[in-house]
Structure 1
Amino acid sequence: MTVQECQQGLSRRSFLGWAGLGTTAVGAAALGATVGAKAAGSADPTAEAGAAYDFLGTHQSGITTPAQDRLHFAAFDLTTDRVSDVTRLLRDWSRAAQQLMFGSDVGTFGAMSGPYDAPPEDTGEAVGLPPSGLTLTFGFGPGLFRDAKGRDRFGVADQRPAALIDLPHFPGDNLDHGRSGGDLCVQACANDPQVAVHAVRNLARIAFGTAAIRWSQLGFGRTSSTSSSQTTPRNLFGFKDGTANIKAEEPIALDDHVWVGRSDQPAWMHGGSYLVARRIRMTIETWDRTSLREQEDIIGRAKGSGAPLSGGEEFTEPDFAAMGSGPNPLIRKDSHVALAHPSHPGNSRILRRGYNFVDGNDGLGRLEAGLFFLAYQRDIRTGFLPVQQALAASDPMNEYIQHVGSAAFAIPPGVTSPGGWVGESLFGSG
């Protein structure tokens, strides 16, 4: 099998057959010997079903990787007080992630082999499916460092980064605490929803007895582009979203605004990032009865082209001083684009990687729909926080949205060597 064939058409079943259906195959995947796997920060599109990304890298996959079409995000609560359980889980997750991202079943025997009287090691719903550009990203919430009772369960309280803040209550927040927080998180992105769900399902199974899912979210239709090779997608309000997002092809911007630098503390986070997750419910029915003029004034961009209302094309820099025929600027000072723009006082750039969601409807027939907002940054205090403070205070879009879920996580650096594991920089070789 050539490298090209491996990239474009390797399914779990063909992988096991090609490698001999034994521990040699699984061992190769577990050690990161991903034939033809792309680097996680590769700017190549992931539209082809067979695309596979390497788990190993300086940074975790799923951040600058070209955003895939589907998401399954899960936050976990730790149910143990033993640090040895946590480090064992992180080792097991890292080993499984390498297998899953390559398109292999989890474990030595996978879904269809092994002892007949024991549960299979893999749940099996992804057998026959290619890797589908799967990436897995792991994070640590505030509860890992000190729980709600103030206990330092795992001896790492003094290693909590100052940048991992407890997010304040913002005006308009109506948070469901059952859909907020978490000690650990897993972000699974893929171009096939079944591949993403399979990954989280099997990681949750591995965690049994050590961690349990607190809440999860399915997403579709990425709402940002993380590579210049991708077109700008649209959110459920029908507008292009993430036009000014940081791209994988901007290494200086990534170093300045996304990756934790060598001068930052604590040292175990060097090469990592910080994630803010917000579940934002959209009042779709009210928005759909709003005039096009008002919609564009609220956003500050043309609905069709995505161009700023000051003129030009989608990627033209907004001119907030440009005046219309009347006394008001072409772009309202309180428009969404004006308040969120890096030029707004106190703002900084962030890398967005959100997804649309529709979770059925309520008893009145209104869609339970919105944006699952995901943003990566070097420091939450200078990234998400000032932007959201400005938006929460005066964004006219607040009439049509409500933040109902919230969480923040430290995203440790990537695993750079076979046998390494996520979180090793924090816990050492424990």
Structure 2
Amino acid sequence: MTEDEPTREESAPPALSRRGLFGLAAGVGAAGLALGAGAGSAAGVAIGRSRAAEEASPVYPFTGTHQAGITTPMQDHLHFAAFDMMAGTTREDLRSLLRDWSYAAARMTQGLDVSATGAVGGSPEAPPDDTGEALGLPASGLTVTFGFGPTLFTADDGTDRYGLAALRPAGLAKLPAFLGDDLDPAASGGDLCIQACADDPQVAIHAIRNLSRIAFGRARLRWSQLGFGKTSKTSAAQATPRNLFGFKDGTANILSDDTQALADHVWVASADEPAWLAGGSYLVARKVAMLIETWDRVRLSEQQRIIGRDKSEGAPLSGGSETTAPDFDKKDAAGGLAIDARSHVHRAHPDVNDGIRILRRGYNYVDGNTDLGRLDAGLFFLSYQRSPVQFVTLQRALSTDLMNEYVRHIGSGVWAIPRGAKAGSYVGAELFT
């Protein structure tokens, strides 16, 4: 037994606590967490769940070569959260937090409460382990993805808080300033991040709410974002969704079955540095406010020129269908370029960016209204890539495209996404072995 394998006591904790809950060795996974008939609510089984709802709800395993929530078919809802470790915490505090989070996430992704006693199975005289708002709900395709920010390895003041500075990936650094940035520090960065995606918004919120409770005393919530209406697809079976500007978004996204593109552009290779990140990726998050009311007053032909695509079908303005490759040399009837060289499609295309591609996994958001009575809405952009350099290159190309008159980048962050947890271990275990 290695130090990363749980003891018998650890694999069956009586309740969720800070004392090293570490139950993945019990076989957390699609089958490993299935409980026998009669296990009851005390075992974390959701109350009142219908057989039909369970059969219709996808269930994704938490363990695996890669973390779920990257190539997983995109769900309809997102709750994203960034955390900072608390002052005075130790290396063991960080390690125990990752164990506890992994244990709870592995259960929730199977439609279970965060612990064996759960929301209603513990003492009535003590706070329950689980908040309970997901009782009766199926797993709803929940995935929980964890990431490590630059400041987890080296604090802003240069302090090596957890003895991890030597393991920091060379490319993991705060993103450079881009033209048009108007970033809110309170909605940017973070030592750790959690991406919870599900087809039911309450299931995604339940995941972040419980993981935040589990972090108490070790990490605090820095900022979070709710998202709805996916703005990309990750499988061929999914239709291309639309963003809040009304255009199809993510037509040429990398799909889950394109193993070569994933290897080339998304997954960190064993030959890359550092070795502990092999099989992982890098996540960039950008909160992009859309000037909805201004955009809505732009004539259709101009909207299409700005994007470079037809609004109805999503076809490039050079002709064809949505999936037709754009022809950037084709002329229109007036003799000009059919696709404007400053359009979003042209500036983002791999052909003009040294073949660079990224896997997009963004969501729409609406956070009410601004002080001026306008919609506080936009795109919560998420992308996975083998190196942050890919995003930086693309964003510099996009920083002068025509669409920038109608958007503002107000939040930002970058995190290293470790490989998936092995059965009997936890996400990020490679940092401590």
The corresponding residue for 1:84 is 92
Runs of 4+ in structure 1 deviating by more than 4 angstroms, as ranges, are 26-30, 46-49
The corresponding residue for 2:152 is 144
Structure 1 residue corresponding to 2:215, chosen from 194, 207, 219: 207
- Percent identity between matched residues is 59
Give 1:324 shift. 1.1
TM-aligned CA distance change 1:30 to 1:400, over 3 Å:
farther
> Residue 246 of structure 2: SS of its match in structure 1?
coil
Aligned residues of 1:126 and 1:194 also touching (Cα < 8 A): yes
Amino acid at match of 1:415: A
TM-aligned CA distance change 1:120 to 1:358, over 3 Å:
same
> Residue 101 of structure 2: SS of its match in structure 1?
helix
Aligned residues of 1:339 and 1:391 also touching (Cα < 8 A): yes
CA distance in 1, matches of 2:354, 2:24: 48
The reply on whether 1:57 has 2:64 as its aligned counterpart is yes
Give 1:150 shift. 1.1
CA distance in 2, matches of 1:122, 1:346: 48
The corresponding residue for 2:28 is 32
Amino acid at match of 1:168: P
The corresponding residue for 1:12 is none
CA distance in 2, matches of 1:64, 1:33: 17
Unaligned 5+ segments in structure 1 are: 1-21, 38-45
The corresponding residue for 1:263 is 271
Amino acid at match of 1:413: R
The corresponding residue for 1:399 is 405
Structure 1 residue corresponding to 2:325, chosen from 312, 317, 325: 317
CA distance in 2, matches of 1:310, 1:217: 37
Give 1:163 shift. 2.1
The corresponding residue for 2:396 is 389
- Paired positions, count: 395
Give 1:327 shift. 3.2
> Residue 352 of structure 2: SS of its match in structure 1?
coil
The corresponding residue for 2:428 is 423
Q: Deviations over 1:96-116 (max 9, x none)?
A: 011000000111200001122
CA distance in 2, matches of 1:67, 1:408: 20
* Root-mean-square deviation (Å): 1.9
CA distance in 1, matches of 2:404, 2:313: 23
The reply on whether 1:111 has 2:119 as its aligned counterpart is yes
The corresponding residue for 2:79 is 72
CA distance in 2, matches of 1:319, 1:36: 50
CA distance in 1, matches of 2:162, 2:23: 30
Give 1:158 shift. 1.3
TM-aligned CA distance change 1:48 to 1:373, over 3 Å:
farther
The corresponding residue for 2:420 is 414
The reply on whether 1:176 has 2:184 as its aligned counterpart is yes
Structure 2 residue corresponding to 1:351, chosen from 335, 338, 359: 359
Aligned residues of 1:49 and 1:133 also touching (Cα < 8 A): no
Structure 1 residue corresponding to 2:133, chosen from 117, 125, 128: 125
CA distance in 1, matches of 2:169, 2:336: 44
Aligned residues of 1:30 and 1:96 also touching (Cα < 8 A): no
CA distance in 2, matches of 1:89, 1:30: 19
The corresponding residue for 1:341 is 349
Aligned residues of 2:148 and 2:191 also touching (Cα < 8 A): yes
Give 1:28 shift. 8.4
TM-aligned CA distance change 1:259 to 1:193, over 3 Å:
same
Q: Deviations over 1:135-181 (max 9, x none)?
A: 00000001100112110000111111112132011111000000000
TM-aligned CA distance change 1:336 to 1:48, over 3 Å:
farther
Aligned residues of 1:310 and 1:318 also touching (Cα < 8 A): yes
The corresponding residue for 2:18 is none
CA distance in 2, matches of 1:266, 1:377: 15
CA distance in 2, matches of 1:36, 1:338: 47
CA distance in 1, matches of 2:417, 2:67: 8
CA distance in 1, matches of 2:431, 2:126: 35
Aligned residues of 2:24 and 2:103 also touching (Cα < 8 A): no
Give 1:362 shift. 1.4
Aligned residues of 1:30 and 1:95 also touching (Cα < 8 A): no
CA distance in 1, matches of 2:76, 2:139: 13
Amino acid at match of 1:59: H
Aligned residues of 2:24 and 2:426 also touching (Cα < 8 A): no
The corresponding residue for 2:161 is 153
Aligned residues of 2:29 and 2:63 also touching (Cα < 8 A): no
Amino acid at match of 2:304: E
TM-score w.r.t. the length of structure 2 is 0.88
Aligned residues of 2:77 and 2:201 also touching (Cα < 8 A): yes
Unaligned 5+ segments in structure 2 are: 1-13, 16-21, 34-52
Give 1:363 shift. 2.3
TM-aligned CA distance change 1:364 to 1:339, over 3 Å:
same
TM-score w.r.t. the length of structure 1 is 0.89
The corresponding residue for 1:283 is 291
Q: Deviations over 1:200-236 (max 9, x none)?
A: 0000000000001100000000000001110000000
Aligned residues of 2:146 and 2:427 also touching (Cα < 8 A): yes
TM-aligned CA distance change 1:33 to 1:269, over 3 Å:
closer
Moved more, 77-86 or 312-321: 77-86
CA distance in 1, matches of 2:96, 2:253: 36
Aligned residues of 1:347 and 1:387 also touching (Cα < 8 A): no
CA distance in 1, matches of 2:365, 2:29: 35
> Residue 102 of structure 1: SS of its match in structure 2?
coil
Give 1:328 shift. 1.5
